[in-house]
């Protein structure tokens, strides 16, 4: 018989922020907290920014053409979290924008990430439907 447990918050006993779940192959466990994406967003850079869909993002800052500050609602424990980034529009214009990422290590803090879209000429350009997903430890 299936069972159902209703609960609002999952907390580890040994360590509050560490719960293991059994892997699909039933032979190992994986950490629940560390496997979760802690933030994601899909947004468009333009004269007026558009946040299409986001999680753990408090606001976007327009730092100029192709440059965006993404502010996190809940801070990370370290600035060295994993960011996966891409743009989401197909067209010759955007094929010439090969580099998307953070401006520099110093511009990634526990509270924000500075995103940029860089053209082949080392310039910057506004891009549509930029996707960012973050994995790492929250404070």
Partner 1 sequence: MSSQLNVDTIVDKAGSGGTNVKIANNAVTVSEGGNATTNTVKGLAKAWVHFTTVSSTAVNNNMSFNISSLTDVGTGNTTCNLSNAFTNVSIVAHFNVGDGANGDQSIVQNNGTTSTINLYCFNGSNANHDSSCCAASGFGDLA
Given the rule CB under 8 A, which residues bind partner 1?
1-24, 26, 29, 32-38, 40-42, 52-53, 55-56, 74-75, 77, 84-90, 92, 94-96, 98, 129, 131-133, 137-139
What minimum distance in Å lies between the beta carbon of 89 and partner 1?
A: 6
d(CA 136, CA 33) in angstroms, rounded, equals 9
Residue (51 or 64) nearer to partner 1, CB = 51
Q: Which two tokens stand for residue 31?
A: 């950490």
Closer CB to partner 1, 62 or 138, in the complex: 138
20 vs 64, which CB is nearer to partner 1? 20
Residue 133 CB neighbour total at 10 angstroms: 16
Q: Closest approach of Cβ 1 to partner 1, in Å?
A: 8
- CB of 52 or CB of 64, closer to partner 1: 52
Residue with tokens 């940029």: 116
Q: Rounded to an integer, what distance in angstroms lies between the CA atom of residue 44 and that of residue 50?
A: 5
Shortest distance (Å) from residue 112 CB to partner 1? 16
Q: Which residue has the tokens 């924000």?
A: 112
Q: Whole-angstrom Cα distance, residue 57 to residue 111?
A: 10
């Amino acid at each position: 018989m299936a069972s159902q447990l209703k609960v609002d918050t999952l907390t580890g006993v040994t360590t509050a922020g560490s719960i293991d779940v059994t892997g699909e192959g039933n032979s190992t466990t994986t950490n629940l907290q560390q496997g979760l994406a802690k933030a994601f967003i899909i947004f468009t850079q333009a004269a007026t920014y558009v946040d299409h869909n986001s999680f753990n993002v408090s606001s976007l800052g327009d730092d100029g053409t192709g440059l965006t500050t993404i502010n996190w609602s809940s801070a990370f424990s370290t600035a060295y979290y994993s960011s996966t980034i891409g743009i989401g529009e197909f067209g010759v214009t955007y094929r010439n924008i090969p580099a998307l990422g953070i401006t520099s290590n110093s511009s990634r803090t526990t509270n924000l990430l500075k995103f940029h879209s860089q053209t082949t000429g080392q310039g910057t350009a506004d891009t549509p439907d930029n996707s960012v997903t973050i994995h790492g430890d929250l404070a």
